[in-house]
Structure 1
């Protein structure tokens, strides 16, 4: 049954070889667990056996370290898939894993940098008045000033930029219009009028907004390198394009912007995705409160 299920994953579902290998390891451990409980076939397995396996994953034993929630969730997903496959193939009448759900993964709050750090980053775009410096500054201003994903930024065309707004194409082909703040407007104007024509002359001509040194469209990797170089010059560690997107959202919420407005600006399909930033905003308020009133204690206490 295990071999048939793994073949199903690889051939019919087209899972990557590494994923299938991970499932194989998880399911071999599961079958050993069942054998230790006297279950010699999947038809004999009860829900209690599956739950006991989840407990064993989280607690570990002399042969296996305790697994984090993410790794345990993957193993439980593999077990649930195996039992569904067994029912579908007629090997078992019931699915004992149906009521056993993977452990909830901890939600990691997005990281954001402060406004002063953003200013340091953009100021470190490169040598003053060089054409590529204008491009770098405009790129960084767009990433932070609109909350654009890196793919959205490098996918921009010149015609997507208007005097006070920019048109971004997001996930699922959804298009949204995001206003441009003064700094982003000025950086884009300087790049488009003074620098882009010089850079474009190095290539064959393209409608892309952000260009590489050869006059072609700037790639995602190229944009990453622009950001990393600026961060290194600014003395900032761990800065990523997504961190600028997180900073954009966090700073808006800190400034009192409604979460549904931020949802629209970020291009999130659901406001639930955006609401994670409200946790950061609350933490910032608590820190500010504690800093201003050191004897006040925790605001919620």
Structure 2
């Protein structure tokens, strides 16, 4: 789309945002424009940016199970891009107000929607479907999904795990968060991890010096997108009746902790939340659904 590249270049030049933030903005905008291109059947231009398209895009993203914070970022990115178009004279401020006039209704739906998670039966079906293929990919994915379901790690932490973070002897996973350190018991996922580390991982790595635990088929550390894709793929193959995501698997772990009677403080530590308010909000939503 016209102006997209110049906007990203402007963000890079001003230095107001970190490289990671600029990359996230670029990724969000490209995702939106791919959605728009598919909708209108051609390469989009700035005149194609209207309120119904933005609303349709965010509602589509909402249905995939993204967290409210990620959806909020998508909206912020689109808003700031629209304001950039105002600054360079493409849009007027009234245009921007019209683009986002509907947002209160949408965000009310996003923040009050039910928390999605898998039932125990769905978890068993998912793991069984992955394991029955018995390929290097399925061995890796069994280990990854088992670890994600047991720890509830955020996807960023999951993909950053190194071999040195796994304590095979004591069956622990050691993770450092910005606000502290946590050692996760991994009794349930240790066996799939051992199988992966001694077999499939060796087929993926390009160098014995590779530190990453989970390796992509390209030979490097697996990416966020790679995890999203494998979770979605196995969910479809297991015929789970709703699209699943890493967030839904994380919520599944939280559901188990809530049902087991863990305290808010314990759940907060395991989730790596920096403040208790996020944890409390999630627990309240889960309790409403669990009943």
Same fold (TM over 0.5): yes
Match of 1:166 among 134, 155, 173: 173
Match of 1:211 among 208, 212, 215: 215
- Give the 3-state SS of the residue equivalent to 1:183 in structure 2: coil
Is 1:116 aligned to 2:151, yes or no?
Answer: no
Aligned length: 214
- Give the 3-state SS of the residue equivalent to 1:182 in structure 2: coil
TM-score of the aligned structures, taking structure 1 as reference length: 0.60
Partner of 1:220 in structure 2? Answer: 224
Shift of 1:217: 1.4
Over 3 Å counting, the alpha-carbon distance change for 1:239 and 1:22 in structure 2 is farther
Deviates most, 14-23 or 128-137: 14-23
Match of 2:102 among 67, 85, 99: 67
What CA distance in whole angstroms lies between the structure 1 residues aligned with 2:109 and 2:229? 35
Over 3 Å counting, the alpha-carbon distance change for 1:207 and 1:117 in structure 2 is same
What CA distance in whole angstroms lies between the structure 2 residues aligned with 1:280 and 1:104? 13
TM-score of the aligned structures, taking structure 2 as reference length: 0.62
Over 3 Å counting, the alpha-carbon distance change for 1:218 and 1:107 in structure 2 is same
Match of 1:18 among 78, 82, 92: 82
Match of 2:259 among 250, 254, 262: 254
Partner of 2:280 in structure 1? Answer: 275
Partner of 1:28 in structure 2? Answer: 94
Match of 1:235 among 230, 236, 239: 239
What CA distance in whole angstroms lies between the structure 2 residues aligned with 1:153 and 1:13? 28
What CA distance in whole angstroms lies between the structure 1 residues aligned with 2:227 and 2:155? 7
What CA distance in whole angstroms lies between the structure 2 residues aligned with 1:111 and 1:26? 39
- Look at both structures and tell me which one has the larger radius of gyration over its CA atoms: 1
Matches within 5 A, 1:100-139: 106-125=111-130, 127-139=132-144
Is 1:155 aligned to 2:221, yes or no?
Answer: no
**Contact conserved, 2:155 with 2:224, CA < 8 A, in 1?**
yes
The Cα offsets for residues 131-180 of structure 1, whole Å up to 9 and x where unpaired, read as: 2211101111121111111121111110011132212344xx44532423
Please list every run of 5 or more consecutive structure 1 residues that lacks an aligned counterpart in the other structure: 1-9, 31-56, 58-62, 74-102, 287-301
Greater RCO structure (CA 8 Å; 6+ sep): 2
- Give the 3-state SS of the residue equivalent to 1:272 in structure 2: helix
What CA distance in whole angstroms lies between the structure 2 residues aligned with 1:137 and 1:104? 34
What CA distance in whole angstroms lies between the structure 1 residues aligned with 2:112 and 2:221? 36
What CA distance in whole angstroms lies between the structure 1 residues aligned with 2:134 and 2:110? 47
**Contact conserved, 1:205 with 1:215, CA < 8 A, in 2?**
no
Please list every run of 5 or more consecutive structure 2 residues that lacks an aligned counterpart in the other structure: 1-10, 18-76
What CA distance in whole angstroms lies between the structure 1 residues aligned with 2:155 and 2:117? 16
**Contact conserved, 2:147 with 2:186, CA < 8 A, in 1?**
no
Matches within 5 A, 1:194-209: 194-200=199-205, 202=206, 205-209=209-213
Shift of 1:29: 7.3
Match of 1:187 among 183, 187, 192: 192
What CA distance in whole angstroms lies between the structure 2 residues aligned with 1:174 and 1:65? 35
What CA distance in whole angstroms lies between the structure 2 residues aligned with 1:280 and 1:232? 26
Shift of 1:13: 6.8
